[in-house]
Amino acid sequence: MTQTPDLADRIPTALSRAILDWYAATGRTLAFRSTTDPYAVLVSELMAQQTQAERAAEAWTAWIARWPTVSDLADAPVADVLRAWAGLGYNRRALALHRAAQAIVTRHGGVVPASVPALVALPGVGPYTARAVAAIAFGMPVGAVDVNVRRVLGRLAAGGHEAFTPGGMQALADAVVPPDDAAAWTHALMDLGARLCKPARPRCADCPAIAWCRYAAGERPVPSSPAGASARKPVERFAATNRWLRGRVIDRARNAADGAWVAYPEAMGLHSATAVREAVVALGSEGLLEVREGEGGPEARLPT
């Protein structure tokens, strides 16, 4: 695994400037990129996890108009928060964001903390989100490493991210942040990974970093996985996944009249009545639903 003290040398200043210039000229215009308000940035980062950036930006605009401050969100009913999250998927993120807002109010007086450790301590905020908020909102020279950034930096520095341990990749990401352009750099790497440096068929010819890229030069790290580990697993139909079922269960409660209990007595889609019951009970234990036992099976509603 690549572990060297001169990590910053792997992304020279000229390369950083080429990426920043490319982003300045072609970067995506997304609503949440117009602000460095820490709360607004935190909302955008949690929304954009595993959601298309354009969809997240549309939802973010409505969200900030409805709850413009941390205190506004902290005081909002959980049911309203879950309804406003419709269409973004992974509803636990909505609950985590609500709890994070409440924690910011109770622990930090309603002010989003500026340090990475304090941000990581908030509900639903992991290392990536904490560093993204720190870089974008506070201009701290820390690297936010998601799958896109890991792929971009790994290919540039060593032909692929497989050459780095997670700690080594984080060290590389931190080392190469331009001190005066942390926010733009964070957005630029995300755009580069999403638009050009794709997992399959990357658009190397259009990339501003091609002259420095070891992947584009044909270098590839030796895979560390054992023989046969790359064999493809059968692809599960989305409608058969637990994620699909959980989303439909919450959608049914979300679309009911305010405070109304919804029954779940039967199968849903490709899932048996037993699987539906298990999903409802699990969502209740996570705080995403209030659950009670009805005559024909479990009943649930959004938290009041």
Q: 2 lies in a domain?
A: no
- Give the tens place of pLDDT for each residue, 6-37: 555 667 788 999 999 999 999 999 999 999 99
- Give the tens place of pLDDT for each residue, 257-276: 888 898 888 888 888 888 88
Q: 172 lies in a domain?
A: yes
Among the listed residues 124, 104, 101, the one whose alpha carbon sits nearest the alpha carbon of residue 113: 104
Mean pLDDT score, 291-297: 84
Q: 225 lies in a domain?
A: no
Total domain count for the chain?
A: 2
Q: How many CB atoms lie within 10 A of CB 189?
A: 27
The first and second tokens of residue 270, run together, are 């490709």
36 with 147, same domain: the answer is yes
Instruction: Say which range, 3-7, 42-46, 182-186, has the weakest mean pLDDT.
Output: 3-7
Of 195, 212, 229, which marks where a domain is finished?
A: 212
73 with 164, same domain: the answer is yes
Given the residues 45, 58, 236, 266, select the one marked as catalytic.
Answer: 45
Q: What percent of the chain has pLDDT over 90?
A: 57
138 with 46, same domain: the answer is yes
109 with 51, same domain: the answer is yes
247 has pLDDT over 90: no
215: phi then psi, degrees, rounded to nearest 5: -65, -45
For the stretch 223-227, contacts whose Cβ atoms lie closer than 8 Å and that sit 24 or more positions apart, written own/partner, are 223/162, 224/1, 224/162
CATH number at residue 266: 1.10.10
CATH number at residue 144: 1.10.340.30
Q: pLDDT at position 4, please?
A: 41
Residue scoring higher pLDDT (155 or 266): 155
Q: What range defines the domain where residue 38 resides? A: 7-212
138 with 16, same domain: the answer is yes
Instruction: Say which range, 91-100, 141-150, 172-181, 284-293, has the weakest mean pLDDT.
Output: 284-293
Q: What is the mean pLDDT of the chain?
A: 88
Q: pLDDT at position 230, please?
A: 47
Q: 107 lies in a domain?
A: yes
204 with 243, same domain: the answer is no
Q: pLDDT at position 17, please?
A: 93
Radius of gyration of the chain (CA): 22
Sheet holding 262-263, edge to edge: 262-263, 298-301, 290-293
Q: pLDDT at position 274, please?
A: 87
The first and second tokens of residue 205, run together, are 């010819």
- Give the tens place of pLDDT for each residue, 55-78: 899 999 999 999 999 999 999 999
Q: 226 lies in a domain?
A: no
Instruction: Say which range, 94-103, 112-121, 211-220, 221-230, has the weakest mean pLDDT.
Output: 221-230
Q: Largest alpha-carbon pair distance within the chain?
A: 69
Q: 151 lies in a domain?
A: yes
Q: 220 lies in a domain?
A: no
109 with 250, same domain: the answer is no
Q: 231 lies in a domain?
A: no
Q: pLDDT at position 236, please?
A: 61
14: Cα separation from own chain's centroid = 29
Instruction: Say which range, 59-68, 157-166, 295-304, has the weakest mean pLDDT.
Output: 295-304
45 tagged catalytic = yes
